[in-house]
Structure 1
């Protein structure tokens, strides 16, 4: 079983007792006592506190810590910790190489020694050679931590981990920072000895550490298996994404052995293409959700690599889903489908019931494009309102006559609109600008038969939706759109119908 280790800095300025207790309460398996600046007495007192096992670390200034002791003094304190019952002690490989005292200590500790190397600047070109040199030291756990520049660097962590484990040794291989998060989230999947995580009480000791709660609850760390099916969401930025919370909860609900992780990819096409190639080769990833700014990159990649793309997604010109369960792989746009499904739910109908309905779309950007395409495809009459009329006219011209009718209108004419539904595709009202709104109460007269749909999902009830509710209109939240597009992805990824109640519960919990 891969262990979860919480770092706790031990010194006279920190409440290390509370932090150790918090780590135990959170569900950690052991605590790393970062005793860089602690006195020997403080370090040994922390070692004796509480039932959790301890890894004792004196991280030197050479490798990102604050310990300035001599190698001999460091060896003396670590040896005392070993004698007092430390489960593990950390010995930096560079210090091991130059210090006879630390070499003797590593021999004494055997499998209780963690031989470590850290590089906070980069993935060094000679890392494989370093790993092989570390493997020449008998018995010790081999720990590698480095700073990746991109996902390709991060995926090397899985290669390094396999190399160490193939030698019959316990491994800890971590890519740091936001690019490297998956090396931590998937540590149990990869069969690593342990990974590091934080609690609100302790905070991180290195960039990119997740919380214990995230590992246990969102990423089902205890249930991860080496044969799990991997999925992810690609974007830049990506740390805010709710998709991992939805899909992982749904996997658990239907009993599917999948893990869904966030993947930070820089915006350019080459980085995107390299990342997809590497994910397919090195992690055998089976499905991807794709968000801003990569939806155009995704359809370009799909076209260049012979994916199946449905005609409407081709026309929209962006896709947000890759399904590698098929051959050739499938690229599709679930944004428009999820949006239409959310809209027609207000009428208790199907997409076909959109034919002939008059629908106003506010905005002419990327979100509007997919929705306009879908509405036109199903025969609706669409009026696009945008503050820059030329953009609305350009979008209307592209999709007019595709079964339905699409026209553009000046924003000032919105007050004269007589549509059956209004869809906000602008960012107005999105957190943190929750007091903004695309309309004022005097702009439109909503009735109880009007449907008002806001594609903004944070906050759950935007100012626009509150105005609509005050006029007794039917409302559709951006959360419902997000859930329904995710449900379509989930079906493609797993073959199971999505547990919509689970999706809604997660969204409600996350958005308050």
Structure 2
């Protein structure tokens, strides 16, 4: 397996990286796609307002391009940002289907009229650059690009590709590949960090997102950011606004520590919003990213350097994380689930913790007390003696079952697969039922219900694990799902007279401990609540 392990010490930038510094030199480029020159120029203005560094004018998107000299002059002279001209043919993933000589002549004309960059494909770059006879304008840099829409080649093949591109006389090397697995991106980082020439290396698709953010750490020449969601020139391009405001892109340097939320799915997670805002507020040099991971062990093995300093784990990786850590906190071991992994810098060992149970149980206790159901007990917890029904026997289910049992509750596990429910119930000393039986399960009133599955999570917001009529037997209903904040389960529970606790409360509670483990700094609790109040 060629996973291209990223074994990069902090600050180990190659010639293309510029070394450790407060502000990285990586540019943000906005692809401009529109039917007319006038529409393109409007979008250029929007890109400037969004704080982009340059624009990529995609000539292949123009509906009419019968006057190349006039149109190109208007675009060069009318642009308020440096311009990169691309005229991408169908055979390289673009829109152009016409005569090749006309396409290349248009790129030469763009150079002559004052373009800052042009992009030409490797397949034709040697002949194209040769035809310039060394007389190209000194201002204009030639990017020679190669796109692979199938996969990401091996490190050796990528290295050979760089050499072939350099041999054409390129000023800047650009390689875009496709991520079949998030570990594919590691190979691109490995090439990028050792590149001795200006290098653009991007890995397309959701699994390749980190290539577009962390290229600022590993020395990439530029990244692409879009103006509006869905309007992309390649799969996986983030919004300019997210690059700047969510990921604090301008502050990422060679020394920036990488953290992230590991999950599948993961794009819905608000963790990057929370942690990046807190990192910025605390002056901590870290960035927190979405990590769409299919195989946790492979991911951790590939990104094994101190640069990748800590991770949050969500569905479906919390149980696997126990096996992947070098050491596991006794509580996490008892629960059988890890939702926080920290890499020790001195030896690279991975330590696993569980912060879910504290966040969730505290939120539920507070919800009970606020609703008047928190009568004091010998244990001091309003959960003592109550019947606590947990839906789900995965990582979060284990955490809540363990936490409730510790507080003196009588725990019942309901799961689609009864055997898994029974296994967890036997482990913590509780009862098990199948999820189908939960509808008619009400041995007493005033029970507590906690959904720890993804049922009802965006985009399947119409789903609920329990029919409404069964909710009247509960004093409080908790839902670990927090996108949307008010799930169908919580809405129907409230209508049935139960107190409700959103997954957002658990999310904020478990994040306090994770932040402190990641940074060694006290958690900015007020900032966490303020940040998440927007959602």
Which category describes the TM-score, using the shorter chain as reference length? 0.7 to 0.9
Unpaired runs of 5+ residues, structure 1, are 401-405
Taking structure 2 as the reference length, the TM-score comes to 0.82
The structure whose RCO (Cα within 8 Å, separation 6+) is larger is 2
Partner SS for 1:114 = strand
Name which of structure 1's ranges 227-236 and 390-399 shifts more when overlaid on structure 2: 390-399
**Structure-2 separation of matches of 1:134 and 1:388:** 54
Q: Aligned ranges for residues 279-290 of structure 1 at < 5 Å? A: 279-281=303-305, 284-290=307-313
Return the TM-score normalized by structure 1.
0.85
**Which residue of the partner structure matches residue 485 of structure 2?**
460
Give the equivalent residue in structure 1 for 2:207.
179
1:333 to 1:201, Cα distance in 2 relative to 1, 3 A: closer
Instruction: Give the equivalent residue in structure 2 for 1:151.
Output: 182
Q: How does 1:373-384 map to 2 (within 5 A)?
A: 373-384=402-413
- Give how far 1:175 is off: 1.1
Q: Which residue of 1 aligns with 2:283?
A: 255
Change (3 A) 1:102 1:265: farther
Query: 1:395-414 to 2 correspondence within 5 Å?
Result: 395-400=424-429, 406-408=430-432, 411=438, 414=441
Verify the 8 A CA contact 2:26 2:223 in the aligned structure 1.
yes
CA–CA separation in structure 1 for the residues paired with 2:120 and 2:222: 16
- CA contact 2:472–2:496 (8 Å) conserved in 1: no
Structure 2 match to 1:209 = 237
Please point out which of 515, 521, 524 is paired with 1:490: 515
Aligned to 1:122: 151
2:350 paired with 1:329: yes
Task: Indicate the residue corresponding to 2:22 in structure 1.
Answer: none
The 3-state SS of whatever aligns with 2:533 is helix
Partner of 1:161: 192
Q: Residue 75 of structure 1 contacts residue 105 of structure 1 at CA under 8 Å; is this kept in 2? A: no
Kindly state the Cα deviation for residue 480 of structure 1 after the two structures are TM-superposed. Answer: 0.5
Distance in structure 2 (CA, Å) of the matches to 1:100 and 1:393: 69
Looking at structure 2, the residues matched to 316 and 71 of structure 1 have their Cα atoms a distance apart, in angstroms, of 63
Q: In structure 1, how many angstroms separate the alpha carbons of the residues matched to 2:469 and 2:263? A: 36
Match of 1:345 in 2: 366
Secondary structure at the residue paired with 2:194?
Answer: helix
Taking the aligned partners of 2:350 and 2:453, their CA distance within structure 1 comes to 32
Between the aligned partners of 1:474 and 1:443, the Cα distance in structure 2 is 11
**Are the equivalent residues in 1 in contact too, given 2:111–2:118 (CA < 8 A)?**
yes
Verify the 8 A CA contact 2:337 2:398 in the aligned structure 1.
no
Task: Give the deviation of 1:433 after TM superposition.
Answer: 3.1
CA contact (8 A) 1:359 1:381 kept: yes
Offset at 1:408?
4.5
Deviation at 1:195, TM superposition (A): 0.8
Kept in 2, the 8 Å contact 1:415–1:444? The answer is no
Q: Is the 8 A contact 2:125 2:168 kept in 1?
A: no
Q: CA deviation at 1:89?
A: 1.3
Gaps of 5+ in 2: 1-24
From 42, 46, 49, the counterpart of 2:75: 46
Q: Does 1:481 align with 2:481?
A: no
Partner of 2:335: 316
Residue 254 (structure 2) aligns with: 226
Decide whether aligned partners of structure 1 residues 104 and 92 sit closer, same or farther in structure 2, where only a CA change above 3 A counts.
Answer: farther
Q: CA deviation at 1:375?
A: 1.6
8 Å CA contact 1:33–1:43 kept in 2: the answer is no
| Aligned: 1:25 with 2:49 | yes
Partner Cα separation in structure 2 for residue 275 and residue 454 of structure 1: 29
Cα distance in structure 2, aligned partners of 1:66 and 1:388:
50
**Greater shift after overlay, 54-63 or 381-390?**
381-390
Note the alpha carbon deviations across 1:61-100, whole angstroms, 9 max, x for none: 3321233455543443223222322121112232122346
